[in-house]
């Protein structure tokens, strides 16, 4: 039966493929394909892990003390029975032999199938056995992890011709897990949870693959292996489409690929408006390896390196100064002399460090993470870690143009502490004989307080970067990751537009650099408005650079600026912008 699920469009384009349901708790399980001649060996690896767990359970059972409650032995029997059930390894084996999944993936795929069968059982006792099944799977995954050395080499999707494209469906995916899906086998994402600028959505956009979030129940309604279309522009998911609908979307998919190829030709064209204003189009990156895509897309620098992604998936150990230095240096060298703006770690809110690390740092009881010990607050609360990061950033400055960006600043006292720490760090580096050059210091404008008091902040910094994702969240009191209030998350809200406009105007009046690095900068719907406000530096995912550049090439900044007041004073800024700013747009950029 064909049906649709509606969500929030977060990453454009159309993806067509088979659904792979992954339980949120198992999103971090490795997903890769195994070469055909290794399939039997992979199945054997699974059987060995199963046998190791069976032995462990048998031993546990044999060693139960005489007076142990008899439920314990019964429970171990249930686990052993599940483990030896044909539906367990046999089912997982099918995923290996037919789909070429690695053992961990095959096991979690089979768990999804069996868990649904348990959910549908009438009998309460049997239904509750799902928890036992999950525990058994957890044990086998643990055994597989212990024997990781035996795992086959993953083959990349490109080498694998026989498989339909795969689309990931999960209740939720944490940003830290998303990062592992970069260059993964999945061609699209669907989640129940999330908003347009949640970090999961941001990473999906950076991967340039279609995604829909905030569907609320896609992971319950979609079945393993269903045919699914993701319409990343409309925010809809079509499950088991009819042949006619499928054909229509295949056509749209081809059209959007052609459009991308057409836009890619703008790569070497300088971003200059019709009236000769030169515009910087910088890239947002999460890892040093992303710098290559930034150069390929024609970025003229990195406007936001979200360094916190280096701090995730660490299982307790944060990156050392040397490890950070190597990462920053790699990004700087990859940008070949173009500026690289490194933001100090912005953990907290929807980008938590993993549990172990957080516990170790004793910050585990977070009541309201978006308003808690996040970003610069966290860095100032962990001064030795902050100094370590600053040292690594300054050391990278010896290899290219580095700029330092501080997230979530709201107080002058924070800026003073940052400046003092920078001084201390410079002295430490000099004493240790490390080379560094001048690093411009910037703060992010993400909290309304910072925008309102900007003239004071500007006295102490070289540049500012407007983080519209958080600025909208904090101005409108809307959790950016919460789909329940996503309809109220409105970049067109007059208060948001006023704060952005004022910030750009004040920074320019003070002769300081100003850019926008939130998602608005990469959305072509806002290019003209931001140009009209006087913005000359945009930072976005590399994949969005061509579409924004096309808008820049067609824009006349003087005509746009003349229309700005009418937009800002309008009760319907979006409608007014569409009318007023579109009439100031001329010409066709791509020939």
Residues serving a catalytic function are: 199, 517
Residue 343 in marked binding region: yes
Residue 306 in marked binding region: yes
Q: Does 195 bind Mg ion (CB under 5 A)?
A: no
- Whole-number Å distance between alpha carbons of 103 and 573: 53
Using CB atoms within 10 Å of the CB of residue 396, give its burial: 0 to 12 exposed, 13 to 18 middle, 19+ buried: buried
Size, binding site for ligand PEP by CB under 6 A = 11
- Whole-number Å distance between alpha carbons of 125 and 91: 23
Q: Does 514 bind ligand PEP (CB under 6 A)?
A: no
Compare residues 126 and 452 and give the one whose CB is closer to Mg ion: 452
- Whole-number Å distance between alpha carbons of 272 and 475: 32
- Whole-number Å distance between alpha carbons of 227 and 18: 5
- Candidate list 499, 517, 531, 560; residue touching ligand PEP; CB under 6 A: 517
Q: Kind and range of the H or E element at 276?
A: none
- Candidate list 177, 226, 414, 446; residue touching ligand PEP; CB under 6 A: 446
Three-class secondary structure of residue 213 per DSSP: strand
Residue 284 in marked binding region: no
Residue 468: name its binding partner from ligand PEP, Mg ion, none (Cβ under 5 to 8 Å by kind).
Answer: ligand PEP
Instruction: Identify whether the C-beta of residue 507 lies closer than 8 Å to the C-beta of residue 563.
Output: no
Residue 518: name its binding partner from Mg ion, ligand PEP, none (Cβ under 5 to 8 Å by kind).
Answer: ligand PEP
Shortest Å distance, C-beta 349 to ligand PEP: 7
Instruction: Identify whether the C-beta of residue 505 lies closer than 8 Å to the C-beta of residue 534.
Output: yes
Q: Does 405 bind ligand PEP (CB under 6 A)?
A: no
Shortest Å distance, C-beta 446 to Mg ion: 5
Alpha carbon distances (Å) from 101 to 20, 133, 186:
11, 20, 12
- Candidate list 195, 400, 518, 542; residue touching ligand PEP; CB under 6 A: 518
Compare residues 136 and 516 and give the one whose CB is closer to ligand PEP: 516
Residue 517: name its binding partner from Mg ion, ligand PEP, none (Cβ under 5 to 8 Å by kind).
Answer: ligand PEP
Q: Which region, judged by CB under 5 A, interacts with Mg ion, from 6-14, 29-37, 170-178, 445-453?
A: 445-453
Compare residues 229 and 466 and give the one whose CB is closer to ligand PEP: 466
Q: Does 306 bind ligand PEP (CB under 6 A)?
A: yes
Shortest Å distance, C-beta 45 to ligand PEP: 39
According to the 3-state scheme, what is the secondary structure of 341-375?
A: EEECCCCECCECCCHHHHHHCCCCCCCCHHHCCCH
Q: Which two tokens stand for residue 143?
A: 């055994």
Shortest Å distance, C-beta 362 to Mg ion: 24
- Whole-number Å distance between alpha carbons of 181 and 27: 9
- Whole-number Å distance between alpha carbons of 107 and 480: 34
Instruction: Identify whether the C-beta of residue 145 lies closer than 8 Å to the C-beta of residue 130.
Output: no
Residue 132 in marked binding region: no
Residue 470 in marked binding region: yes
Residues from 454 through 493 that contact Mg ion (CB under 5 A): 467, 470
Q: Does 344 bind ligand PEP (CB under 6 A)?
A: no
Query: Which residue matches tokens 């690929």?
Result: 257
- Whole-number Å distance between alpha carbons of 546 and 508: 26
Q: Kind and range of the H or E element at 56?
A: helix 39-62
Compare residues 112 and 350 and give the one whose CB is closer to ligand PEP: 350
Here's the x/- map for ligand PEP, 452-491, by CB under 6 A: it reads as ---------------xxxx---------------------
Pairing outcome for strands 236-239 and 280-285: unpaired
Using CB atoms within 10 Å of the CB of residue 237, give its burial: 0 to 12 exposed, 13 to 18 middle, 19+ buried: buried
List phi, psi (to 5°) of 459: -65, -25
Residue positions in the annotated binding site? 306, 343, 446, 469-470, 480
Q: For binding to ligand PEP (CB under 6 A), which residues are involved?
A: 202, 304, 306, 346, 446, 467-470, 517-518
Q: For binding to Mg ion (CB under 5 A), which residues are involved?
A: 446, 467, 470
Residue positions in the annotated binding site for phosphoenolpyruvate? 306, 343, 469-470, 480
Residue positions in the annotated binding site for Mg(2+)? 446, 470
């Amino acid at each position: 039966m064909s049906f649709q699920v509606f969500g929030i469009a977060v990453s454009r384009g159309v993806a067509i493929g088979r659904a792979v349901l992954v339980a949120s708790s198992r999103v971090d399980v490795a997903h890769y394909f195994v070469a055909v001649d290794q399939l039997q060996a992979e199945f054997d690896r699974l059987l060995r892990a199963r046998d190791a767990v069976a032995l462990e359970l048998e031993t546990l059972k044999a060693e139960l003390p005489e007076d142990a409650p008899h439920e314990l032995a019964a429970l171990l029997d249930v686990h052993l029975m599940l483990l030896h059930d044909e539906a367990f390894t046999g089912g997982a084996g099918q995923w290996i032999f037919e789909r070429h999944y690695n053992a961990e993936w095959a096991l979690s795929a089979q768990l999804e199938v069996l868990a649904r069968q348990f959910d549908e059982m009438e009998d309460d006792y049997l239904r509750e056995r799902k928890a036992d099944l999950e525990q058994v799977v957890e044990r086998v995954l643990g055994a597989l992890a212990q024997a990781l050395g035996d795992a086959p080499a993953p083959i990349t999707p490109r080498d694998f011709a026989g498989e339909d494209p795969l689309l990931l469906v999960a209740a939720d995916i944490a940003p830290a897990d998303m990062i592992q899906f970069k260059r993964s086998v999945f061609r699209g994402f669907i989640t129940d949870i999330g908003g347009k600028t949640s970090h999961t959505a941001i990473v999906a956009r950076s991967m340039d693959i279609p995604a829909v979030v905030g569907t609320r129940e896609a992971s319950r309604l979609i079945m393993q292996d269903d045919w699914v279309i993701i319409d990343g522009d409309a925010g809809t998911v079509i499950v088991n489409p009819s042949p006619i609908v499928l054909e229509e979307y295949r056509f749209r998919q081809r059209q959007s690929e052609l459009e991308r190829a057409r836009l890619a030709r703008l790569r070497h064209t300088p971003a200059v408006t019709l009236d000769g204003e030169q515009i910087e189009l910088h890239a947002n990156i999460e890892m040093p390896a992303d710098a290559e895509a930034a150069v390929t897309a024609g970025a003229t620098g990195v406007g936001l390196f979200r360094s916190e992604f280096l701090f995730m998936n660490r299982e307790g150990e944060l990156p050392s100064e040397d490890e950070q230095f190597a990462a920053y240096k790699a990004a700087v060298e990859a940008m070949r002399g173009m500026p690289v703006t490194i933001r100090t770690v912005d953990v907290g809110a929807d980008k938590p460090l993993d549990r172990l690390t957080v516990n170790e740092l004793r910050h585990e009881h977070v009541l309201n993470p978006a308003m808690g010990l996040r970003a610069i607050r966290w860095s100032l609360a962990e001064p030795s870690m902050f100094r370590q990061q600053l040292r690594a950033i300054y050391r990278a400055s010896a290899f290219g143009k580095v700029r330092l960006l501080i997230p979530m600043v709201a107080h002058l006292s924070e800026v003073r502490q940052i400046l003092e720490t920078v001084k201390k760090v410079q002295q430490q580096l000099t004493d240790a004989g490390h080379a560094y050059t001048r690093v411009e210091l910037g703060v992010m404008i993400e909290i309304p307080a910072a925008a309102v008091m900007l003239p004071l902040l500007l006295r102490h910094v070289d540049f500012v970067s407007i983080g519209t994702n958080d600025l909208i969240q904090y101005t409108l009191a809307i959790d950016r990751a919460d789909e329940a209030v996503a309809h109220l998350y409105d970049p067109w809200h007059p208060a948001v537009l006023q704060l952005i406009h004022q910030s750009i105007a004040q920074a320019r009046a003070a002769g300081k650099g100003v850019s926008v690095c939130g998602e608005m900068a990469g959305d072509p719907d806002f290019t003209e408005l931001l140009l009209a406000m006087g913005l000359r530096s945009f930072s976005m995912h590399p994949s969005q650079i061509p579409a924004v550049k096309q808008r820049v090439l067609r824009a006349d900044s003087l005509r746009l600026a003349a229309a700005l007041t009418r937009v800002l004073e309008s009760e319907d800024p979006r409608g007014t912008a569409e009318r007023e700013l579109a009439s100031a747009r001329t010409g066709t950029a791509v020939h």
